[in-house]
């Protein structure tokens, strides 16, 4: 048996025997110990398959693992990941610290990675933030090991620096009860440095006070990233977002896996780029008919009645639909690209310094987005062309 899997079984045994001592109630309530050991003991199955079964539907720290029915294929390109081989991955979970993340297993090699579609914005060289050579290694080193602290990356430089820091000095991770447990596990089983009991008591008190934990509220997310990561939802807080029914669309529509974004959130209102406010007579995401097809409505361009943003269920492309004529015009080649354009626009708007610098900044962003997806710029009056003509103050050109 491989050494990663042997260590994992020892760690799970420790977890099952110590949860009443090492874990505060707010953590214990978030994962179900029932069936955990049994899933690992089927010697007729490969360790990777046993691990996937053991993790299915569980939340361990800030990592949430999907059930088998909830997993889906995600196709990424080499430009985004820097990965030299084919890009067929299976999404098995995500980090609760960012809506842009996914835990991916390569369908051919078994390599396992934490993917963050926003990693470029934080200075990472590509969107695969943590890569391990197997699901066994990912669980051993990240879910149940010291690399868990690297989930608290603020940028590439900081992630590299944290390797040299004491765990409890790294911002954020010191108040994560799961990582506090992992330190105790390492001290008990693998000769790590123990957490002093007085320090542990102080931290557990602070954690439960922070979350104001009550048993019926235990499913609330444990932690969010500190101030720099409030841009994980770059269009603001939860009151300014609306959730798309991504899971339903993935099941019902024929669009390829690469068309779907990692996050299902859209902004309610985003300057001149997008609004989810409709006419009051239309339900969010209800379909409209154009020709012989039905297209779910995503929102509309602000101030441009009667146009709507709609999703092509066959291709995953986003179009601008003229409700008066029934015509369709291209916006983005996929919903994933539309979502990425909105995120980049939101950050552009958040960093706005006024009219003096706006046109030059807009020109740079336009070049960046054209390189990602030229579809929305292929006509003078298409949506993204129009948005950037306004920002560059060249509307009359």
pLDDT tens figures, 237-285: 555 778 888 888 988 899 987 788 877 788 888 889 998 888 666 788 9
| C-alpha to C-alpha distance for 308 and 283, rounded to whole angstroms | 13
The ranges assigned to domains in the chain are 3-223, 238-391
Cα–Cα distances (Å) from 159 to 112, 147, 162, 179, in that order, read: 18, 10, 5, 16
**Inter-residue contact 320 to 308 (CB < 8 Å):** yes
Tokens encoding 384: 């993204």
Contact status, residue 100 vs residue 235, Cβ threshold 8 Å: no
Say how many CA atoms lie within 13 Å of 54 toward its Cβ: 26
Q: Are strands 318-322 and 328-332 parallel, antiparallel or unpaired?
A: antiparallel
Burial 331-349 (b: 16+ CB within 10 A, else e): bbbbbbbbbbbbbbbbbbb
Q: Which two tokens stand for residue 62?
A: 């800030």
If you compute the radius of gyration of the chain from its CA atoms, what whole number of angstroms results?
23
Burial tier of 287 (Cβ tally within 10 Å: 0-12, 13-18, 19+): middle
Mean pLDDT of all residues in 305-331? 91
- Mean pLDDT score of the chain, rounded to an integer? 76
**pLDDT on residue 215:** 35
Tell me the per-residue pLDDT of 155-180, one tens digit each, with 9 for 90 and over. Answer: 555 555 545 544 444 455 666 778 77
- Residue 185's pLDDT band, with cuts at 50, 70 and 90, is confident
Top mean-pLDDT range of 173-177, 178-182, 216-220, 230-234: 178-182
Per-residue pLDDT of 280-303, as tens digits, reads: 667 889 999 888 889 999 999 987
Residue 21 confidence (pLDDT) above 50: no
- Which residues, including other chains, have CB under 8 Å from residue 116's CB and lie 6 or more apart? 98, 100, 101, 122, 124, 127, 129
Q: How far apart are the first and last CA of the chain?
A: 69
pLDDT over 90 percentage in the chain: 22
Contacts of 190 (CB under 8 A, 6+ apart): none
The answer to whether 8 and 51 are in contact (CB under 8 A) is: yes
Q: How much is the average pLDDT of 377-384?
A: 91
Q: CA torsion sign, 36 to 41 to 42 to 44?
A: positive
**pLDDT of res. 368:** 83
Do strands 287-290 and 293-299 pair parallel, antiparallel, or not at all (unpaired)? antiparallel
Contact 69, 39 (CB under 8 A): no
Name 201's Cβ contacts closer than 8 Å, sequence gap at least 6. Answer: none
Pairing of strands 307-311, 318-322: antiparallel
With beta carbons less than 8 A apart as the criterion, state whether 384 and 341 touch.
yes
Q: What is the pLDDT of residue 261?
A: 83
Residue 7 is encoded by which pair of tokens?
Answer: 């260590």
Report the alpha-carbon distance of residue 85 to residue 87 in Å, rounded: 6
Length of the chain equals 397
The pLDDT of residue 213 is 36
State the Cα–Cα distance between residues 96 and 257, nearest whole angstrom.
Answer: 22
> Does residue 13 register a pLDDT over 60?
yes
The lowest-confidence range among 19-23, 34-38, 85-89, 317-321 is 19-23
How far apart are alpha carbons 291 and 337 in whole angstroms? 25
Q: Please say if the pLDDT value at position 8 is more than 80.
A: yes
């Amino acid at each position: 048996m491989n050494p990663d899997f042997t260590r994992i079984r020892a760690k799970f045994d420790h977890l099952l025997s110590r949860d009443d001592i090492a874990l505060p109630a707010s953590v214990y309530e978030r994962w179900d110990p029932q069936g955990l050991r049994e899933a690992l003991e089927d010697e007729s199955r490969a360790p990777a398959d046993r691990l996937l079964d053991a993790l299915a539907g569980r939340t361990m720290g800030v990592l949430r693992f999907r059930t088998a029915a909830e997993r889906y294929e995600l196709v990424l390109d080499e430009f985004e990941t820097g990965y030299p081989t084919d890009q067929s991955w299976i999404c098995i979970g995500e980090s609760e610290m960012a809506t842009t993340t996914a835990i991916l297993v390569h369908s051919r090699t078994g390599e396992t990675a934490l993917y963050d579609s926003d990693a470029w914005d934080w200075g990472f060289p590509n969107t695969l933030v943590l890569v391990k050579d197997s699901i066994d290694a990912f669980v051993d080193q990240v879910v149940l090991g010291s690399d868990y602290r690297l989930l608290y990356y603020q940028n590439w430089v900081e992630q590299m620096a944290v390797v040299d820091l004491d765990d409890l000095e790294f911002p954020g991770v010191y108040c994560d009860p799961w990582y506090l447990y992992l330190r105790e596990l390492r001290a008990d089983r693998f000769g790590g440095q123990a957490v002093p009991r007085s320090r542990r008591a102080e931290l557990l008190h602070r954690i439960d006070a922070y979350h104001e934990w009550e048993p019926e509220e235990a499913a609330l997310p444990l932690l969010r990233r500190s101030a720099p990561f409030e841009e994980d939802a770059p269009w603001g807080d939860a009151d300014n977002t609306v959730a798309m029914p991504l899971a339903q669309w993935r099941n019902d529509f024929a669009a390829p896996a690469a068309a779907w974004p990692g996050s299902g959130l859209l902004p309610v209102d985003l300057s001149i780029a997008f609004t989810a406010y409709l006419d009051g007579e239309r339900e969010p995401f209800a379909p409209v008919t154009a020709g012989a097809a039905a297209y779910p409505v995503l929102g509309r361009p602000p101030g441009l009645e009667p146009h709507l943003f709609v999703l092509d269920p066959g291709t995953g492309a986003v179009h601008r639909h003229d409700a008066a004529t029934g015509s369709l015009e291209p916006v983005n080649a996929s919903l994933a690209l539309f979502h990425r354009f909105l995120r980049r626009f939101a950050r552009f708007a958040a960093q706005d310094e006024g009219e003096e610098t706006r046109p030059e900044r807009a020109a740079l962003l336009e070049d960046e987005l054209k390189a990602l997806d030229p579809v929305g710029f292929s006509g003078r009056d298409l949506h993204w062309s129009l948005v950037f003509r306004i920002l560059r103050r060249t509307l009359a050109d």
